[in-house]
Structures are given as structure tokens and as C-alpha cells.
């Protein structure tokens, strides 16, 4: 487990972004367009991956939890 700070554009951060984006596209592709999904991923990972982030093992899980909440609000607002 790495204890080094994560730069937003590091290879590790890029790998996390790619993983979260792929999972979001599979999960929410039917309810949101790709641009919306990309904005959710950017928003959430911008909050989670900061210069102070040292342990990244579970960032994708935390990101998916936050994105699920955003997607649920998106679907609710579309239905209203």
C-alpha cells in the first residue's frame, strides 16, 4: 500500500479515473449520457483525490458510492 501523496494527474489517479468511469458507464449508461457521467466522475474524484490523499486502495469504492447518490438524484429529477 502506497503512502505517497497522489497528484491529480499521476498514473495512479488516471487509473482510478478510468476504472470509475468504466464502471459508471456500465452502471448508469442507460440513465445518463456520457458527458453527464464524465462530469459526475470528475466532480467526485476531484473531492477524493487531493494532494493530501495518500491511500488510494478504496477510492473507487468511495467514488461509486457518491456517484450512486448523484445518479439517484438525477433519475428522480428526470422522473419529476
Concatenate the DSSP letters of all residues of the chain into one string. ---SPPPTTSHHHHHHHHHHHHHHHHHHTTTS-HHHHHHHHHHHHHHH--TT----TTHHHHHHHHHHHHHHHHHHHHH-
- Predicted TM-score (pTM) of the model is 0.85
Residue 8's pLDDT band, with cuts at 50, 70 and 90, is low
Instruction: Please answer whether residues 45 and 17 qualify as being in contact, where contact means their C-beta atoms are separated by less than 8 angstroms.
Output: yes
Q: Give yes or no for residue 6 having a pLDDT over 90.
A: no
Tell me, what's the pLDDT at 24?
98
Amino acid at each position: 500500500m502506497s503512502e505517497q501523496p497522489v497528484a491529480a494527474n499521476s498514473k495512479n489517479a488516471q487509473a482510478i479515473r478510468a476504472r470509475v468511469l468504466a464502471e459508471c458507464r456500465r452502471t448508469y449508461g442507460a440513465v445518463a449520457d456520457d458527458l453527464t457521467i464524465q462530469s459526475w466522475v470528475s466532480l467526485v474524484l476531484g473531492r477524493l483525490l487531493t494532494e493530501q490523499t495518500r491511500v488510494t486502495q478504496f477510492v473507487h469504492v468511495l467514488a461509486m458510492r457518491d456517484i450512486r447518490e448523484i445518479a439517484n438524484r438525477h433519475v428522480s429529477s428526470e422522473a419529476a
